[in-house]
C-alpha cells in the first residue's frame, strides 16, 4: 500500500532546501536564467531536472493538446528573469505554498476524488504491458479529465463525467499495478478496492452532480461536494442562523473554512487548519509561507503573510478578517499572492470556500490602464443608475493592477479566472477597500491560443462589420469589461442597514446575482464617453464590440458548453444568459436586439446600442435593489426565468455549428516551473521553465504534493 506523504517537519524541509545542490556534491552556482536546464533542483525533498527554459516569444507554443471538450495551453511569465533575486526567492516560496494545497481541492470537490486520482496516477505510471487498445486511450482521456477538473465532476457544469472504457479494463489495469502503489485502506484487498471504486466511477446515479443549485430540492443532499456530510439543507441553514456576531456591522464569514457533519445527533463544524482537517497539507503551506515572510518586500506584506499563517494555525475567522485587511493595505509590494479558502461558488449555499492560490507580480506598464479606471471609482458610483439609497457615498481603497501570473493552484488551476476582486466580505470592502486584478499574461495566452483552430466569430457573428469591429477592438473590449467588472462592479453599491449578507439572504442565487451585477456595471459603462475621456479606449466602437460579443455569447455560443437536455448550472453562465435574455426580451418592443435567421442559421443582431445600454442600466438598478434589500423571491424569479432554461432547438443548432470548428470550448493551463539555485546554503536565483507535457506535470504534482490521507 502506498501511503500519502505526511507533512515533513520544517527542520527537515529547511535542510533539504539548503542542501539541495550539495546532495550530489556538485553545487549549482549559475544564475543565468536563460540556461537550458538546471541540473539539480529541489521540490518537496526530491531532486528533479527542470524542463528547458524558453525565453523567446516567437518560439513559444501556447497550445499543447486537445481532448474531450478541453484544450491545454501554456502561458509565459514575461519579466520574471529581470526581477531582483529576493523577489524571485519570495515568488518561489509562495509557489511552493500554492502547490502544497493541491490535494485539498480534490477532496473538497468529492470525498472519493483522491483515491480515484491516485489510482489513475498509479495506472498511468505503471509502464509494464501498457495497451494501445481503445480502452487504454479512453482511460488516458478520462484521467486527463480528472486532472483538469480536480475530480470526477466537470469543472464547469459540475456534472459527473463517466468513463468510456469498460469496468473490466479498469479492473485489469488496477491489477497490473503493485498493491503497495494503490491507495488501499488498512486491511483492504485489491479485489475489495476494485469492487468499491468501480461503481463510484461508473454508476451515473452515485454523486451525479458536484454542486446542485436547482430550485425545489435539498441542495445539500443532492450535491457531491465534500463540505457537508449526513446533514440536510434545513439543518445547515438552522445551524448557521444561530451564529451571532458581537459586532453586527462586521460579521465574520461563518463556515468559510469548515466541514459540517453530524456527530452523536448534533450538527458540528470540523475546521480546516493545522491540527484539523487538511492539517498535513496546511502545515506544508504554512512552512513555505513562513519562509516567504523572511524575504517579504516590506513590513506591510510581512504583516499580511504573518496574519495568513496565524489564520491557518488557528482557523479563527476573525484572524482571517485581520489578514484580509492587512492584505488590502499592502499596496506597495510588487509581488502578491492569493492563498486560502476563498471563493464559494462550489458550495450550493455559498458558504464554504474552495482552496485556491494565485502567485503574481505587478505588470507596471499595463497597470496604467486599470489604474485610470480605479481613480474614477467615485465618479462611476455617483453616476450609476442605482437608486440613491444603494450608492456608496464614499468609495474607498480600490487598488487595481494588471498582474503577471507565476503559478496557480487549487480551484484556480488548470482552469483559471482572468480577473479577481477580493476580499469577499462586504464590510471590509466598504471600510478598507479591495484589490482588483486583471491576469494580464493569462489573457494574453488566451488571445494567442484563439489564433489556432476555427473561428467562432466567423460562424456566429451576424455581419462583416461586426467581425471587423471585433478583430480591431475585441481584445481591448474584453480587457475593459474585466477591468470594470472587477474594479468598479464588485466594489459598487451597498446593502441596506440591517439586511444580511447576500449568502444569507439570496442563498443559492447569491453568486449568480453578484456576477450579474458586476457584469452589468461593466456593460453600462463600456458604452460611456467617460472611458474615452480618461484615455482607456479610443471610441465607443470598443463598447459596441463588447455588446456584440456579450449578447452573442450569452444567448448562443456559451451553449456549446452544455450537454443536450441539460440546464445551465454554473453561476457565470447563468449570469450571462440572464443578462442577455432579459435585455433581449425587454427590448423586443423597440427591436433593440433582433433574432435573425439566414441560410438556416440563427444570429442575434443589435440594432440600437444606446437603448441596449439603457436596458442594462435598468437591470443593474434592479439587481442592486435585490442585493441591497435581500429580496430572495425576486432573485429566484430573475435567475430561474432568464438564466437557467435552455431553448432545445437553438441549443442543438449551436452544438452542430460549433462542432464544425474543431475548437474545445474549455481551456486550461500547464503551470510554469520554478527551481531554486542554491549556493553556500542560500537561494541565489530562481530559474523559470515552461513544461509542455500535461501528463508529466500532473504525475509529478501527484508525487511531490501528495500530502493528504485518502479520506479527510
Query: What average pLDDT score do residues 546-573 get?
Result: 93
By CB neighbour count within 10 A (0-12 exposed, 13-18 middle, 19+ buried), where does 365 fall?
exposed
By CB neighbour count within 10 A (0-12 exposed, 13-18 middle, 19+ buried), where does 250 fall?
middle
By CB neighbour count within 10 A (0-12 exposed, 13-18 middle, 19+ buried), where does 240 fall?
middle
Banded model confidence at residue 353, pLDDT cuts 50, 70, 90 = very high
Is residue 516 within 8 Å of 579, Cβ to Cβ?
yes
pLDDT at residue 50 above 50? no
Residue found under cell 538546471: 38
pLDDT at residue 177 above 80? yes
Query: What average pLDDT score do residues 486-496 get?
Result: 92
Is residue 688 within 8 Å of 672, Cβ to Cβ?
yes
Residue closest to 287 by CA, chosen among 269, 268, 305? 305
pLDDT at residue 43 above 70? no
Helix or strand (DSSP H, E) at 555: helix 541-555
Residue found under cell 451585477: 517
pLDDT score recorded for residue 673: 98
pLDDT score recorded for residue 528: 97
By CB neighbour count within 10 A (0-12 exposed, 13-18 middle, 19+ buried), where does 24 fall?
exposed
Is residue 270 within 8 Å of 277, Cβ to Cβ?
yes
What whole-number percentage of the chain has pLDDT above 70?
91
Cell numbers for 693, please give them: 507535457
pLDDT score recorded for residue 451: 58
| 171 Cβ contact list (under 8 Å, min separation 6) | 194, 198
Banded model confidence at residue 7, pLDDT cuts 50, 70, 90 = very low
CA distances (Å), origin 75, targets 404, 440, 660, 697: 10, 10, 27, 15
Instruction: Point out the least confidently predicted range of 80-84, 246-250, 515-519, 535-539.
Output: 246-250
pLDDT score recorded for residue 475: 87
Is residue 52 within 8 Å of 37, Cβ to Cβ?
yes
- pLDDT tens readout for residues 103-132: 999 999 999 999 999 999 999 999 755 667
DSSP 614-636: HHHHHHHHHHHHHHHHT-HHHHH
pLDDT at residue 2 above 80? no
Residue closest to 98 by CA, chosen among 674, 668, 666? 674
By CB neighbour count within 10 A (0-12 exposed, 13-18 middle, 19+ buried), where does 686 fall?
buried
pLDDT at residue 16 above 50? no
DSSP letter assigned to residue 32: -
DSSP letter assigned to residue 329: H
Residue closest to 182 by CA, chosen among 269, 118, 99? 118
Cell numbers for 440, please give them: 494580464
pLDDT at residue 210 above 90? yes
Residues linked to residue 65 through DSSP beta bridges, in sequence order: 72
Q: How many Cβ atoms from other residues are within 10 Å of residue 662's Cβ?
A: 9
CA distances (Å), origin 246, targets 16, 239, 317, 318, 526: 46, 17, 14, 11, 41
Annotate 74-97 with b (16+ C-beta within 10 A) or e (fewer): bbbbeebbebeeebbbbbbbbbbb
Alpha carbon 502 to chain centroid, angstroms: 20
pLDDT at residue 53 above 60? no
pLDDT score recorded for residue 71: 95
pLDDT score recorded for residue 125: 94
Query: What average pLDDT score do residues 451-477 get?
Result: 87
Question: Angle CA(262)–CA(311)–CA(347) in degrees, nearest 5?
Answer: 45
Instruction: Point out the least confidently predicted range of 128-137, 388-397, 532-541.
Output: 128-137
Coil, helix or strand at residue 355: strand
Residue closest to 161 by CA, chosen among 105, 112, 202? 202
pLDDT score recorded for residue 452: 55
Cell numbers for 590, please give them: 423597440
User: Would the pTM of this model clear 0.75, i.e. be above it?
Assistant: yes
Banded model confidence at residue 56, pLDDT cuts 50, 70, 90 = low
pLDDT score recorded for residue 598: 96
Residue closest to 548 by CA, chosen among 476, 595, 594, 604? 604
pLDDT score recorded for residue 157: 87
Residues linked to residue 209 through DSSP beta bridges, in sequence order: 159
Is residue 551 within 8 Å of 604, Cβ to Cβ?
yes
pLDDT at residue 147 above 80? yes
Cα 331 to Cα 435: distance, rounded to the nearest angstrom: 9
Query: What average pLDDT score do residues 671-688 get?
Result: 97
Cα 250 to Cα 428: distance, rounded to the nearest angstrom: 8
Residues linked to residue 46 through DSSP beta bridges, in sequence order: 43
Cα 253 to Cα 255: distance, rounded to the nearest angstrom: 6
Banded model confidence at residue 23, pLDDT cuts 50, 70, 90 = very low
Amino acid at each position: 500500500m502506498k501511503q500519502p506523504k505526511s507533512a515533513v517537519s520544517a527542520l527537515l524541509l529547511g535542510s533539504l532546501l539548503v542542501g539541495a545542490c550539495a546532495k550530489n556534491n556538485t553545487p549549482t552556482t549559475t544564475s543565468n536564467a536563460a540556461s537550458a536546464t538546471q541540473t539539480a533542483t529541489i521540490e518537496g525533498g526530491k531532486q528533479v531536472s527542470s524542463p528547458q527554459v524558453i525565453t523567446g516569444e516567437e518560439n513559444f507554443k501556447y497550445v499543447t493538446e486537445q481532448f474531450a471538450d478541453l484544450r491545454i495551453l501554456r502561458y509565459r511569465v514575461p519579466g520574471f528573469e529581470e526581477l531582483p533575486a529576493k523577489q524571485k526567492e519570495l515568488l518561489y516560496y509562495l509557489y511552493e505554498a500554492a502547490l502544497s494545497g493541491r490535494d485539498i481541492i480534490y477532496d473538497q470537490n468529492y470525498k472519493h476524488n483522491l483515491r480515484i486520482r491516485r489510482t489513475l496516477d498509479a495506472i498511468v505510471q505503471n509502464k509494464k504491458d501498457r495497451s494501445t487498445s481503445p480502452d487504454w486511450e479512453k482511460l488516458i482521456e478520462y484521467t486527463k479529465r480528472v486532472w483538469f477538473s480536480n475530480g470526477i465532476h466537470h469543472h464547469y457544469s459540475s456534472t459527473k463525467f463517466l468513463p468510456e472504457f469498460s469496468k473490466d479494463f479498469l479492473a485489469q489495469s488496477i491489477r497490473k499495478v503493485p498493491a503497495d502503489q494503490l491507495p488501499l485502506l488498512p486491511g483492504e484487498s485489491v479485489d475489495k478496492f476494485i469492487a468499491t471504486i468501480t461503481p463510484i466511477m461508473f454508476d451515473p446515479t452515485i454523486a451525479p452532480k458536484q454542486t446542485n443549485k436547482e430550485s425545489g430540492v435539498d441542495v445539500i443532499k443532492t450535491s457531491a461536494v465534500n463540505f457537508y456530510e449526513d446533514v440536510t439543507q434545513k439543518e445547515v441553514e438552522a445551524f448557521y442562523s444561530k451564529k451571532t456576531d458581537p459586532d453586527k456591522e462586521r460579521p465574520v464569514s461563518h463556515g468559510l473554512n469548515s466541514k459540517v457533519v453530524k456527530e452523536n445527533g448534533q450538527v458540528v463544524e470540523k475546521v480546516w487548519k493545522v491540527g484539523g482537517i487538511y492539517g498535513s497539507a496546511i502545515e506544508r503551506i504554512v512552512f513555505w509561507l513562513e519562509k516567504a515572510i523572511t524575504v517579504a518586500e516590506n513590513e506591510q506584506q510581512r504583516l499580511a503573510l504573518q496574519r495568513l499563517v496565524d489564520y491557518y494555525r488557528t482557523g479563527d475567522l476573525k484572524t482571517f478578517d485581520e489578514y484580509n485587511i492587512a492584505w488590502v493595505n499592502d499596496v506597495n509590494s510588487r509581488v502578491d499572492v492569493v492563498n486560502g479558502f476563498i471563493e464559494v461558488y462550489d458550495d450550493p449555499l455559498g458558504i464554504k470556500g474552495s482552496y485556491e492560490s494565485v502567485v503574481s507580480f505587478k505588470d507596471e506598464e499595463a497597470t496604467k490602464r486599470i489604474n485610470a479606471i480605479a481613480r474614477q471609482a467615485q465618479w462611476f458610483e455617483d453616476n450609476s443608475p442605482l437608486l440613491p439609497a444603494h450608492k456608496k457615498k464614499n468609495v474607498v481603497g480600490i487598488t487595481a493592477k494588471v498582474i503577471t501570473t507565476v503559478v496557480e493552484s487549487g480551484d484556480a488551476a488548470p482552469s483559471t479566472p482572468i480577473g479577481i476582486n477580493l476580499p469577499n466580505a462586504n464590510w471590509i470592502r466598504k471600510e478598507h477597500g479591495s484589490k482588483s486584478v486583471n491576469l494580464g499574461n493569462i489573457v494574453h495566452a488566451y488571445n494567442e491560443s484563439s489564433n489556432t483552430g476555427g473561428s467562432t466569430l466567423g460562424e456566429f457573428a451576424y455581419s462583416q462589420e461586426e467581425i471587423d469591429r471585433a478583430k480591431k477592438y475585441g481584445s481591448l473590449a474584453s480587457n475593459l469589461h474585466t477591468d470594470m467588472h472587477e474594479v468598479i462592479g464588485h466594489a459598487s453599491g451597498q446593502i441596506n442597514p440591517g439586511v444580511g449578507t447576500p449568502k444569507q439572504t439570496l442563498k443559492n442565487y447569491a453568486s449568480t446575482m453578484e456576477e450579474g451585477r458586476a457584469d452589468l456595471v461593466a456593460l453600462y459603462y463600456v458604452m460611456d464617453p467617460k472611458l474615452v475621456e480618461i484615455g482607456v479606449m479610443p471610441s465607443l466602437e470598443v463598447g459596441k464590440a463588447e455588446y456584440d460579443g456579450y449578447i452573442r455569447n450569452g444567448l448562443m455560443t456559451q451553449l456549446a458548453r452544455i450537454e443536450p437536455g441539460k440546464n445551465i448550472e454554473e453561476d457565470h453562465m447563468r449570469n450571462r444568459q440572464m443578462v442577455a435574455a432579459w435585455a433581449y426580451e425587454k427590448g423586443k418592443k423597440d427591436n433593440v436586439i433582433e433574432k435573425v435567421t439566414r441560410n438556416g442559421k440563427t444570429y442575434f443582431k443589435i440594432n440600437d446600442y444606446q437603448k441596449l445600454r439603457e436596458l442594462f442600466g435598468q437591470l443593474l438598478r434592479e439587481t442592486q435593489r435585490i442585493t441591497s434589500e435581500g429580496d430572495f423571491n425576486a432573485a429566484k424569479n430573475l435567475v430561474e426565468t432568464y438564466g437557467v432554461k435552455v431553448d432545445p432547438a437553438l441549443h442543438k443548432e449551436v452544438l452542430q455549428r460549433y462542432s464544425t470548428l474543431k475548437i474545445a470550448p474549455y481551456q486550461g493551463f500547464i503551470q510554469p516551473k520554478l527551481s531554486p539555485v542554491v549556493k553556500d546554503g542560500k537561494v541565489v536565483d530562481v530559474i523559470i521553465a515552461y513544461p509542455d507535457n500535461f501528463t508529466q506535470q500532473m504525475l509529478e504534482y501527484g508525487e511531490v504534493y501528495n500530502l493528504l490521507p485518502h479520506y479527510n
